[in-house]
Structure 1
Amino acid sequence: MKNHLLLFFFLFSIARGMAQQADSGFSWWNELHGWEAGDPGWRNWMKISPGYLGPNALPVPQVRKGELAGPAEFEATISNHFHKGDPTQDISGHVYIPFAGNKIAVEMYGVAFERFAFSEEIRNERIARNKDGKGTAIGDFYFSTLIQVIRNKKFPNTLFRFATKTASGNQLEAARFTDSPAYFLDLSFSKKMGQQATGLFRPYGMLGFYTWQTNDELNLQNDALLYAIGTDFIKNDWLLSASLSGYSGYKNERDRPAQLNFDFRKDFRKKALRLQYIHGLRHWEYKTVRLSFIWKLKPAG
């Protein structure tokens, strides 16, 4: 019995020491933000908003352009997000599969790997618990369904999209991803003018709804108006695109990101190359360069 008691107190002392060590590991965060025992947990202190998270946490969705076209594709992308206090690099993938004569399509995409190194100022502003601001993360996974509503009629081409964001991303403590779901839906419109062989313009617009879960017990989700406007210039196998896109949340906590998008693509028979530049204007303060290699897969159905 005595031996059992000694073993119990020995194990209790180890567990207590480990708990104290873990607590002391975040004593800097407790002192910095005035956290005391009995206060809400650290997650409640963070702001689940694009202006207080990394570049891939709640990004403005890719602009859709009113129509489904082309074969199934797999796209591999490397990105460099330039930011004085939060330079970030990532590798991402995107799968697009149309079927039913390009009337319906599904997409699956996400960030497979992210590397970050943010400053002390950014760390404190975002209430992050990563002391040195350096690390790696795995991103969220998205999947979406696209339905061609109108095509090749007098009315502009019209496309409906419904997309869901999972909570697969990690590193919430470093303010990289939200650890919560989101979804968005939108209608996009476009009209072609001219001939592709001599030069074709395709103005387009998008309007929709974006909502994501927050940690605010009084407002468990933030709802936003999703929008975009832009134009393509297409000639033979070349595409040049420019657009303005963003969404506008109602909480007014840096939740109204807006950005300019520039997209250059060259198609080959079975492959394509794509170069993108994204310039943050508001509440998403990154300057992003993306390079993609695209494999054209056999169309499904």
Structure 2
Amino acid sequence: MKFRFIVILIVWLGAFRGTAQTAEGDVSWWNILHGWEVGDPGWRNWMIISPGYFGPNALPVPHVQKGELFKSAEIELTASNHFHKGDPTQDISGYIYIPFAKNTVAIEMYGVAFERFAFSEEIRNERYSRIKDGKGTAIGDFYFSTLVQIIKGRKFPNTLFRFGTKTASGNMLEGARYIDSPAYFLDLSFSKKFGNSETGALKPFAMIGFYSWQTNDELNLQNDALLYGIGTDFIKNNWLISASCSGYSGYKNERDRPVQLNFDLRKDFHKKALRFQYQHGLQHWEYKTIRVSYIWKLNQDK
């Protein structure tokens, strides 16, 4: 039953593209607005492929890893609300985590299953969108990551390696929601726990890595970025409180250096957990996001 549920969710996240609003047939308004004439490069070449010119889920900062794997396989269903004066967005996403090989290796699969947006005329024009009224729905990208535990339980901090890939499964390029091209990232994360969970433990963590995505610039076909994150967990009994700062820094300097603050509150129960997250964009990702998640733990240990 659990395996069947995982398969269904994988199909739901990755294979299903669904139907979504497409660009209007008459785009003469776009041609006039941006001065496009016959013989000019196609409209896709006008778009700027960076997080500052797309929706909140197009090129998000990868979630911060914390130096160690957990024993419990999990399925997480999340509802998110992205607050932005010119681009309020809501979405439903899913996440699957499966450890194996005696908890030395794990895989992650996640993505946005459904997104609803309604951006302003100013945002539409700035992003070269061809959705005239700025309203519609979209299906997001599918991500797949492999995690390898390098060091754990020694004097040296716990060390975890991650290699992640972003598919081009997301649609609605014409609405500047998803970039319709692949990306990948790799990083090392480190952590060290001080104290115990019964009386309260602190676990500082840090992450450093590399992030790269494909662009539409013929002279620079990809943008390469330094990926980073730093924060601290506070753990007591079945509660987790976490705060971190994360981001990446692209080399083109076209709103491609997003920085955000992350706050996380989680309560674990016997076979389930509840999670509340808040993300506050500081630069080049100008959203304030609230996420609420329900988590199924597929085995009791964690």
* TM-score calculated relative to the size of structure 2: 0.91
1:115 aligns with 2:82: no
Deviation at 1:262, TM superposition (A): 0.0
Shift in Å, 1:169: 0.2
- Match of 2:30, SS? helix
Structure 2 counterparts to residues 34-183 of structure 1, below 5 A: 34-183=35-184
CA contact (8 A) 2:271 2:299 kept: no
Alpha-carbon distance, 1:71 to partner? 0.7
Listed one character per residue, the Cα deviations across residues 95-129 of structure 1 (whole Å, up to 9, x for unaligned) are 00001121000010000000000000000000100
Is contact 2:163–2:184 with CA below 8 Å preserved after alignment? yes
Cα distance in structure 1, aligned partners of 2:164 and 2:182: 11
Alignment of 1:231-270 (within 5 A): 231-270=232-271
**Equivalence for 1:7:** none
User: Which amino acid letter does the alignment assign opposite residue 114 of structure 1?
Assistant: E
Instruction: Give the Å deviation of 1:162.
Output: 0.1
Q: TM-score, normalised by structure 1?
A: 0.91
Letter in 2 for 1:90: D
User: Which string of whole-angstrom CA distances, capped at 9 and with x for unpartnered residues, describes residues 19-57 of structure 1?
Assistant: xxx997111100111100000000000000000000000
User: How high is the sequence identity, in percent, across the aligned residues?
Assistant: 78
Matched with 1:17 is: none
Q: Secondary structure at the match of 2:156?
A: coil
| Secondary structure, aligned partner of 1:173 | helix
Structure 1 segments (4+ residues) deviating >6 Å = none
Q: Which amino acid aligns with 1:274?
A: R
Structure-2 residue corresponding to 1:281: 282
- CA pair 272-24 structure 1, distance change in 2 beyond 3 A: closer
Q: Distance in 2 between matches of 1:205 and 1:172?
A: 33
Mapped to 2, the partners of 1:66 and 1:240 lie a distance apart of 17
Distance in structure 2 (CA, Å) of the matches to 1:24 and 1:222: 32
> Any conservation in 1 of the 2:24–2:131 contact (CA below 8 Å)?
no
Whether the 8 Å contact between 2:270 and 2:300 is mirrored in structure 1 is: no
How much has 1:69 moved relative to structure 2? Answer: 1.1
Quick check: 2:72–2:300 contact (8 Å CA) kept in 1? yes
> Residue 132 of structure 2 aligns to which amino acid in structure 1?
K
Give the letter aligned to residue 175 of structure 1: A
Query: Which residue does 1:203 correspond to in 2?
Result: 204
Say whether the 8 Å CA contact 1:97–1:299 is kept in structure 2: no
Could you say which structure has the larger radius of gyration?
A: 1
1:70, distance to aligned residue in structure 2 (A): 2.8
Structure 2: which 5+ residue stretches go unaligned? 1-22
SS of the equivalent of 2:124 reads: helix
Report what 2:273 is aligned to. Answer: 272
Residue pair 2:227, 2:247 contacting (<8 A) in 1 also:
yes
Which residue number in structure 1 is paired with residue 4 of structure 2? none
Matches of 2:212 and 2:167, distance apart in 1: 13
One-letter code of the match for 1:28?
Answer: W
How many pairs were matched up?
279
Unpaired runs of 5+ in structure 1?
A: 1-21
The residue type equivalent to 1:231 in the other structure is T
- The 8 Å contact of residues 145 and 161 in structure 1, kept in 2 or not, is answered as yes
Task: Tell me if structure 1 keeps the 8 A contact 2:238–2:268.
Answer: yes
What secondary structure, in the 3-state scheme, does the structure 2 residue paired with 1:122 have?
helix
Separation in 2, partners of 1:150, 1:250: 32
Which residue type is aligned with residue 186 of structure 1?
Answer: D
In 2, the alpha carbon distance for the partners of 1:121 and 1:299 equals 50
Distance (whole Å) between structure 2 residues aligned to residue 188 and residue 197 of structure 1: 25
Cα distance change on mapping 1:39 and 1:23 into 2, 3 Å: farther
SS in structure 2 at match of 1:58: coil
Question: Matches of 1:24 and 1:261 in 2, distance apart?
Answer: 40
Deviation at 1:298, TM superposition (A): 3.4
CA distance in 1, matches of 2:158, 2:35: 55
Indicate how the Cα distance of structure 1 residues 188 and 136 shifts in structure 2: closer, same or farther if over 3 A, else same.
same
Q: 1:72–1:299: 8 Å Cα contact kept in structure 2?
A: no
Shift of 1:167: 0.2
Q: Output the amino acid matched with 2:186.
A: L
